[in-house]
Structure 1
């Protein structure tokens, strides 16, 4: 996928991330199927000191999954943040089980424009399954909860955290996308902004916030912006009355995900 990778990730940082992914494979005896950027750098509004939120999906050797205690085995790999690199991953079985439930994190990972690793087109294959798997209503309620939490928790004071505006606006625009197109929303903020292209006051405030965030630290505070607050409150009120449409996946998702899972498993340890 094309995207803001060249400006968001320097060659030196990318090289370090690739080295850490390879080290994780050796340490845990796994094969990484996909690794992407998942945070503000992928969304398109990083600060100069934003973390690198690297998320990956990995597979153990096939026999690892044929054990009686597989349900009790650890299915995540987590590391402490070091040098602003936040590296965490899910086992492929866990990832695909959550995908079957329209897990918003996984759905966003497979749409990330910043890709570090994609073995055998893992992300592309997952994206082709979205119409069979994704439940639009689940996405709406997830993004509504995210927007409401960030607005009511951070944006009703005179001075507010700059980044929290984006943490409220992005999910609200994602709901607009779901409402209009009934397909998973893209994660790039610029694409979502097109849905409010006709709202001049909101767009002007967003443009000012984007420019400031590009040169500000992560914990920067700004005065509350009335036009944005009014827009957020209006959308929260409107979406609070959202009636589930009952859109269901087209069917066959369990069989397709089972086949996908089996195809991901190596025959022996890397």
Structure 2
């Protein structure tokens, strides 16, 4: 849960972004462990946003050279960064996993002109499940081999790996973007009592541990992870590629510029 005081503070930071950069923030959400549902007591707030300049800003010969991200200094454990609407929708067209997860964050700070609903409505025609599987497999594999093969391992890295593997199971079963919240993914492994029990133990530790806590390696979870990574290394999907027509994204882009000019 995000307290009302924190929400007001974040809204103030977003207004500062608008004033300093001459933009309008269209959409802002919480990303990372707070959105996933397993923050530590000292977890940062990871605020991600989509913004638009006035229309004239885009009618420039040097548009491709102009900066299309805003990154704010981290203050009071608040990490704010955002993408320009044109960059965001181009990445959406490529099934960018970060953008798709932002659309499904359960913690929304701002949503102008129904941006999220309009973007989510386009997912069936744009989102490529195979790209999602590849992204989550790469994330799980990198974090497992980089962090979870020692005697003492970073607690939060188990969640990075497990959440990625369960997201893949969701993609395989439902052929649609996976939920952000870890608890919505957990039922996909409920039939494995050992793994489910170990996840419960991990969650209890995470809720009372600092962000960079280390724990002894958990052999049962490592066995499960290695089996899943091995299975997924042979993943093959013959489904037809998504057409990903740009016309609907162009319409959303223009409507967002109209909103920014209003």
The normalised TM-score by structure 1 is: 0.94
Q: How many residues align?
A: 262
Q: Counterpart of 1:81 in 2: which secondary structure?
A: coil
Q: Does 1:244 align with 2:223?
A: no
State the distance in 2 between where 1:172 and 1:241 align.
Answer: 14
Report if aligned partners of 1:137, 1:247 keep a CA contact under 8 Å in 2: no
How far the C-alpha of 1:247 sits from its partner, in A, is 3.7
How far the C-alpha of 1:268 sits from its partner, in A, is 6.6
Report if aligned partners of 2:140, 2:162 keep a CA contact under 8 Å in 1: yes
Match of 1:86 among 79, 84, 104: 79
Report if aligned partners of 1:60, 1:266 keep a CA contact under 8 Å in 2: no
Q: Return structure 1 stretches of 4+ with deviation > 2 angstroms.
A: 244-249, 266-270
In structure 2, list runs of 5 or more residues that go unmatched. Answer: none
How far the C-alpha of 1:266 sits from its partner, in A, is 3.2
Q: CA RMSD in A?
A: 1.2
Counterpart in 2 of 1:20?
Answer: 13
Q: Does 1:199 align with 2:192?
A: yes
Counterpart in 2 of 1:261?
Answer: 253
How far the C-alpha of 1:13 sits from its partner, in A, is 1.2
Counterpart in 1 of 2:70?
Answer: 77
Q: Counterpart of 2:43 in 1: which secondary structure?
A: coil
Measured against aligned partners, the alpha-carbon deviations of 1:9-67 in whole angstroms (never above 9, x if no partner) come to 11111111110001100111101110000110000110011110000000000111111
Match of 2:90 among 76, 88, 97: 97
Counterpart in 2 of 1:182?
Answer: 175
State the distance in 2 between where 1:247 and 1:175 align.
Answer: 18
Report if aligned partners of 1:30, 1:269 keep a CA contact under 8 Å in 2: no
The normalised TM-score by structure 2 is: 0.97
State the distance in 2 between where 1:268 and 1:192 align.
Answer: 36
Report if aligned partners of 2:91, 2:99 keep a CA contact under 8 Å in 1: yes
Match of 1:43 among 4, 15, 36: 36
